[in-house]
């Protein structure tokens, strides 16, 4: 357990803006979610989860790192285009690969839960956001990021897929619970 705490400490030292920006994103999501639920439908809690997941993902992936500003255009816009997916050995511990995967899980879950409201657009955001964030990392040298890393985007997509699978299960449980409550209400009235 101590090793995981050390990895998180190293992460937050390297990503000093990640936590404060995530907190702000969650606060903005708290204010915006009831408005979006009234305007577009859906559960305000699911909207909050979705907006917080997007904000948290962006906070972790495109805020400036603890590195120094390099000035000028990045010479390493594309660091790695080798398409490598995470392997199980990388996922057994808290490390860069597992954190890349975990940060995208809420995004996939929330997107599935909002799929009835967002219809065809949720996959575009959930699938496109990892690539957009990698592109931003590559073209904005002031972020002190290493550039576009296809492996990171693919690892994020695995996280989105895992979250989506969890979101499907959660949606089925929520639907079964809602129908059970309705059935109980109907029986109680009779």
Structure tokens at 33: 């979610």
Decide if 22 contacts 55 (C-beta within 8 A).
yes
User: Do 137 and 62 touch, CB atoms closer than 8 A?
Assistant: yes
Quote the distance between the C-alpha of residue 9 and its chain's center.
20
Q: Which two tokens stand for residue 81?
A: 């285009």
| Residue 145 reports pLDDT greater than 80 | no
User: What pTM did the predictor assign?
Assistant: 0.78
pLDDT (tens digit per residue) in 93-132: 777 788 888 999 999 999 888 887 777 676 778 889 999 9
How far apart are the C-alpha atoms of 134 and 147, rounded to whole Å?
7
Q: Dihedral, CA atoms, 27, 33, 34, 35, nearest 10 degrees?
A: 110
């Amino acid at each position: 357990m101590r090793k995981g705490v050390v990895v998180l400490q190293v992460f937050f030292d390297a990503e000093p803006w990640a936590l404060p920006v995530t907190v702000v994103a969650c606060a903005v999501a708290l204010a915006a979610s009831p408005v979006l639920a009234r305007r577009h439908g859906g559960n305000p809690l699911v909207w909050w989860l979705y907006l917080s997941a997007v904000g948290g993902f962006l906070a972790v992936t495109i805020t400036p790192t603890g590195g120094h500003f390099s000035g000028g255009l990045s010479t390493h816009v594309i660091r790695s285009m080798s398409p490598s997916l995470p392997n199980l050995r990388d996922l057994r511990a808290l490390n860069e690969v597992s954190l890349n995967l975990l940060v995208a899980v809420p995004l996939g879950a929330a997107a599935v839960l909002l799929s009835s409201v967002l219809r065809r657009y949720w996959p575009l955001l959930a699938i496109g956001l990892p690539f957009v964030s990698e592109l931003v990392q590559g073209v904005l040298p002031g972020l002190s990021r290493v550039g576009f890393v296809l492996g990171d985007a693919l690892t994020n997509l695995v996280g989105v897929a895992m979250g989506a699978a969890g979101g499907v299960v959660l949606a089925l449980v929520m639907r079964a619970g809602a129908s059970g409550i309705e059935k109980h209400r109907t029986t109680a009235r009779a």
